[in-house]
Amino acid sequence: MQSFDWGKRTYLMGVINITPDSFSGDGILSHKDPIKQATLQAQEFVQAGAHILDLGAESSRPGSHTISTEQELKRLLPILKAIKSINLDAAISIDTCKSKTAQICLEEGADWINDIWGLQADTALANIIHSFGATVVLMHNRSQAHAIRDLGVIGKSYQGSDYQNLIEEIKADLSASIRIAKQAGIQEEKIILDPGIGFGKSVEQNLAIINHLDEFRCLGFPILIGPSRKSFIGQILDLPVEEREEGTAAAIAIGIARGADIIRVHNVRAMARVAKVSDAILGRLEGNL
């Protein structure tokens, strides 16, 4: 089982999209043999440096449609079981906000639940996570299904919500999620925070979150960021999703410098290199170079 020593290095979470409509274009359900493709991707990610594999079966891209728990599990379970069977040295995270999905996946050996609604969408989810002793990622999210901008070849983007004080309001919302987790009995060492880059934030708001990421350290938990290939990068560079690797690298390098503990990425090999050099500059790899 993968262990984590926060503050000593940056950890990588590799995204495995078990969807037909991922915004990043890497949804594996379009492959002839999705189980084989997912297993190969998981192996390649771990070999390239991933410490966590994040399996998601419901797209959260702007304009995506909600799927049922049954459909989510139909996509997830065969791939979760296949990846578990090859005993990779990585924690397995399930990207879901549904308590029933979380329960069944945790029963099948998943380690983390990555909830894009920070335990505020399904009231039963926190208790399920606690009952299994699982780790939870609490993400900040003010996105609204109707508040979407169509940017043509760049894709779609959630409109930024109105904030009087962006960082302080995100901290307050995350604190509410933390309280839900603690009230359910989830231990502090099992909590990770994600400020929710791209979810109900404008380009300027996303940039401010990355540039002021260190201000979330006062909440006392590890920080995860997921800027990988997001629309704000496309809007800055005026580039489609398949041409955002350099922009992703820049966002990740600055995010690490500002205190990110985990980076959630699509291209593990390239971003592992970005993380390693960033860690070296910050003096986190002394004795390991």
Query: Which are the catalytic amino acids?
Result: 230, 264
CA end-to-end span of the chain, whole Å?
24
225's enclosing H/E stretch is: strand 224-225
User: Checking DSSP bridges between strand 156-158 and strand 148-150, what pairing results, if any?
Assistant: antiparallel
* Cα 18 to Cα 289: distance, rounded to the nearest angstrom: 36
- Residue 52 has which token pair? 């966590």
**Interacting residues of 285 by C-beta distance below 8 A, sequence separation 6+:** 9, 276, 279
Rounded distance between C-alpha atoms, residue 263 and residue 79, angstroms: 23
Q: Give the side-chain half-sphere CA count within 13 A for 78.
A: 13
Name the strand (E) or helix (H) holding 52. Answer: strand 52-56
Cα(252)–Cα(65) distance, rounded to whole angstroms?
Answer: 29
Distance, in Å, from the CA atom of 14 to the CA atom of 260, rounded to the nearest integer, reads 15
DSSP class of residue 213 equals G
